[in-house]
Amino acid sequence: MDLQLEGKRVLVTGASKGIGLAVVRAFLAEGATVVATARRSTPELAATDAVFVPADLSTPDGPATLVETVLAQNPQLDVLVNNAGGGDRPEGMFEDPFSGDDDTWATVFALNLNAAVRTTRAALPALTKARGSVVNISSSSARDPHTAPLPYAAAKAALNAFTRGLAEATGRSGVRINAVTPGATRTDLLAGPDGLAAGIAEHMGVDHATFLAGLPEQFGMLTGDLIDPSEIARAVVLLSSPAMPSAIGSNWTVHAGQMKTA
């Protein structure tokens, strides 16, 4: 299938590892030119053909400065993938029903919601000119908020609302806004040594590796395994493709049966 992405210019945030890195590789495989951003690069990202532009998108000015830099290099921009997200595990999250104080909530929302809003706002004129697309990376915790710290789940739920609302506002101008919702995916945020699973395992007094191996069954994932980031990347590439002109305001879930409601 020709996804009509050859020669397109793509900006991927949170691109240094995990889902973001997989998205970079997937677009490059389709012949696109990719600009990748994160606070810091990694050897894995440096090994790709992506152009790296460092940025801290959690700051108020970071997204606009990033987009200005990217467009100064080349005014063409066809696809924006808002993948930057995550955050540190809140201290005392197992005892605190709010999973953090006001500063924690503000920090999590800055990275998981505000960064996407601000980056999209800055990129929208170029995307409108290109009749391009935006794909926001959400999380299954937006629909099952008990599976993650509450600030993160709430921020991703807000990102879903932002995606759907902006899609209505930009659809007639030719810019398609969509989201991809991953289930439990093998990334550092979940499975890394400082990730959510490690914190839960420590709290329960069980071995991290043992807990991680049993996580798919606990989540009801029918494949018996965590999702590989490359699967999420394939959904992102397809949603962003000009070959999918009617995909507007969609939220594609890739969850291995984890989500039990329609």
Q: How many CB atoms lie within 10 A of CB 231?
A: 16
- Residue ranges in 42-149 assigned as alpha helix (H): 43-46, 62-73, 102-109, 115-130
**What's the rounded Cα separation, in Å, for the pair 47 and 21?**
11
Give me 9's structure tokens: 């210019």
Decide if 152 is catalytic. yes
Q: Nearest-CA neighbor of 13 among 102, 118, 165?
A: 118
**What's the rounded Cα separation, in Å, for the pair 79 and 24?**
12
Which one is catalytic: 105, 152, 162, 219? 152
- SS3 category, 177: strand
Q: How many CB atoms lie within 10 A of CB 244?
A: 16
Catalytic residues: 152
